[in-house]
Amino acid sequence: MNASRSPLRRIRAAAMLLAAVPLALWAQQTPPKQHATEPEIKYQGAASPLAGEPMHQATNPKAPPMTQAEFDRARALYFERCAGCHGVLRKGATGKPLTPDLTTAKGTDYLKVFIAYGSPAGMPNWQTSGEMDEKTVDLMARYIQHDPPTPPEFGMPQMKATWKVIVPPDQRPKKKMNDYNIANIFSTTLRDSGQVALIDGDTKQIINIVNTGYAVHISRLSASGRYLYVIGRDAKINMIDLWMAKPDNVAEIRVGLEARSVDTSKYKGFEDKLAIAGAYWPPQFVIMDGNTLEPKKIVSTRGMTVDTQEFHPEPRVASIVASHFKPEFVVNVKETGKTLMVDYSNIDALKITEIGSARYLHDGGWDSSKRYFMVAANNSNKIAAIDAKDGKLKALTEVGKIPHPGRGANFTHPKFGPVWATSHLGDETIALLATDDKRKDAFKVVQSLKAQGGGSLFIKTHPKSSNLWVDTPLNPDAAISQSVAVFDIKNLDKGFKVLPIAEWAGLKDDGAKRVVQPEYNRAGDEVWFAVWSAKDKQSAIVVVDDKTLKLKAVIKDPRLITPTGHFNVHNTQHDVY
């Protein structure tokens, strides 16, 4: 290749070559698709807490030279933009492998084409979209030819070094020491401040701002409803006692370097006794004492994939729920596509039933009977129905593009009886799956609705409501991301109404104002929304009257920094959705 050519001309020349050469080393694992959509990029490209962790760095003599400063910058960029798809170890997750045995064979110019222009298999076009400049593309093309730096493991010694019992059990209140209606408290994630806001659902006042891990992913309740457990993306768990005069932390621990899920034992006789958390890195789950968070048992999830039966070194633990039928935790593992039914009745002789379904298991919720866990295999575009009573896969159903239900929505359809619904990140559809296991069409899509567009993260209703709410916070159209769609369950064919939630918030700055996660109060007559802007912009909580669809209240406070997910205590404790 002529050295006098400009870098951009070399990239273009490589692009022509790329079009003519079979991609044998990157054989298609899934049917070809168009470039990743903006909602997908926003979702998969969320920054990983691993960006700041010290890592072991190996030297690959075949890789192009990089200074230490270049390598450090590229590593940070990789964990901010790429690790969500390609994995911490670059072995491939929802994206293809980027290991040196593949990348060095292609060479720098060839790799720059992929990064700059994207690929039909879903790789974003980072340069032509304006997300990266030419120098950054060159930096990343060289970086992925080096051996991937390996984050440290995180075992029992590391966990115990982070474990703190702030208020020992024998020093905690023996009865509720406040006048709050605990069942109607909301736990709201303040993503970028590393906190949660506890908000009184009756008065709409902030009870306390509690320090937690970074970007709390979910809030879960103990069986009794007394203790609130939250987990940050940095794998820090905080245990909050709602009986205290001012509810606050009583214990904390880190269970890894990156994580998403936590829950507690719910089965009769085991209430509040155990907690469990799953990590993205290291790929493992941890069973802890439910009163103190003392780590008791660590189980790795590394193993073989459900489809190709190949070893995967980084199967991340996604959603975890507690069974209502047995003393079991339902643990969903993304990259291997397996659901693990973990019998916690004797953690010294742990029994695990492995159920294979589809790869990239992510989030989900119970059907109305609480027997079937409906979990989205998001990049396989499927919903798996896991039978918690019989311990088997009941069904695997094709739905729309990248289902992301949150916990989903249960309601009685006028024609099809009990259904569970999911919206999608990748398209505008809402899939309704029949959940009455006596029907011939059980666990099949019985109706598909169309809402505002792709980029939806959560869908919600309530047993006392006749409305179905759908958000679209990751849609690239601001008018869509700042509003919500609401369907009348009794008249689904009539389409949806659009409510301008961000406009109702009355925020005066130019923040993103993305509207996310409808959540009902305990009574089922209010729906709460987070209006989510950047950390240096004003955000708010908007409360809507579920019956009239009118604005009921707006909660504004300088401490409400990037509010995202929020969870009502009663509804979360009792799996009401």
Active site residues: 82, 85-86, 123, 362, 404
Note every long-range contact of 193-197, with CB atoms under 8 Å and residues 24 or more positions apart, other chains counting: 193/535, 193/559, 193/561, 193/562, 194/232, 195/559, 195/561, 196/230, 196/238, 196/240, 197/557, 197/559, 197/560, 197/563
What tokens appear for 242 in the block? 């709602």
Q: Are 248 and 241 in contact (CB under 8 A)?
A: yes
Contact call for residues 516 and 167 (beta carbons, < 8 A): no
Q: What is the C-alpha radius of gyration for the chain, rounded to an integer number of angstroms? A: 24
Q: At 149, list the tokens.
A: 């730096």
Classified as helix, coil or strand, 84 is helix
Tokens read off for 256 = 């890894």
DSSP annotation of 131 reads S
Q: Find, among 286, 234, 295, 221, the residue nearest to 260 by Cα.
A: 234
Beta bridge partners of 355: 339
Q: Characterize 243-253 residue by residue with b for buried, 16 or more Cβ atoms within 10 angstroms of its Cβ, and e for exposed.
A: bbeebbbbbbb
CA distances to 197, 501, 505, 511, 531 from 540, rounded to whole Å, are 12, 10, 6, 11, 5
Distances (CA, A) of 316 to 279, 281, 337, 365: 6, 7, 10, 18
Longest distance between any two alpha carbons in the chain, whole Å: 79
φ/ψ (deg, to 5) at 19:
-65, -25
Cβ–Cβ < 8 Å for 408, 459: yes
Give the separation between CA 455 and CA 532, rounded to whole angstroms.
15
Closest CA to 218 of 179, 251, 262: 262
